[in-house]
Chain A
Amino acid sequence: ETGVTQTPRHLVMGMTNKKSLKCEQHLGHNAMYWYKQSAKKPLELMFVYNFKEQTENNSVPSRFSPECPNSSHLFLHLHTLQPEDSALYLCASSQDVGSEAFFGQGTRLTVV
């Protein structure tokens, strides 16, 4: 069983669609993160949740809406995306400051 599980692994959506990405961690960690990885660009931090509370929103457009119902689950709701939003979206979790982040396998999103 992997520590951080993301679904779906691949998603193709139109610009008018609404979809959600799901992340679940089985590691008992307190912090969860959404990262965006575009081709030839660094991993970009999008959101940070600690103990279910959002502690960071890295100037992400409102068409991306995170939800963290508990410390084990994290969602990313997508609405009216643009083609440039096509990327690999990675979820991660960590115990606390100074400990490593564990990443899920990511969702490869294509916006058409």
Chain B
Amino acid sequence: GQNIDQPTEMTATEGAIVQINCTYQTSGFNGLFWYQQHAGEAPTFLSYNVLDGLEEKGRFSSFLSRSKGYSYLLLKELQMKDSASYLCASGSGGYNKLIFGAGTRLAVHP
């Protein structure tokens, strides 16, 4: 079956580092995506991992271990504007079919 698990909520302090974990079980896996979604807005793409290891992009980094079915999104130097939901999605099969997790709602406080 298809299953994506991530924590429902997290809180963190401005300027700190936070790691959001995601585990997945999907057939025809072709990559792991992270999206950010602010309340009332469309999801926006953050990162894509298809090979094991760490991908760094500015303050955000994403890690993938295919053998463990595990990924994490690392956010550094947190800012208030980073308060949002972070969606983990597994690419499955062809045509970039995405299976989404329920999202992790991150609250950044001063």
Contacts and interface: CB of A to CB of B under 8 A. Distances in A.
B11 interface: no
B97 A56 contact: yes
Interface stretch (A64-72, A75-83, A92-100): A92-100
A107 B33 CA distance: 23
Given A98-B48, A101-B45, A55 B94 contact: yes
Interface residues of B, number: 25
Interface string B79-110: 00000000101010011111111110000000
Contacts of A50: 94-95
Contacts of A55: 94-95
Nearest to B42: A103
Contacts of B96: 31, 94, 96-99, 101
A4 B45 CA distance: 13
B54 interface: no
Contacts of A41: 102
Given A100-B48, A103-B44, A105-B41, A42 B95 contact: no
Interface of B: 4, 30-31, 33, 35, 41-45, 48, 50, 87, 89, 91, 94-103
Report, nearest first, the 4 A-B pairs whose CB atoms are least far apart: A100-B45, A43-B100, A103-B42, A94-B96
22 contacts: A4-B42, A33-B98, A40-B102, A42-B4, A43-B98, A45-B98, A45-B99, A56-B97, A90-B42, A96-B95, A98-B31, A98-B50, A99-B48, A99-B96, A100-B33, A100-B48, A101-B96, A101-B98, A102-B45, A103-B43, A105-B42, A106-B42
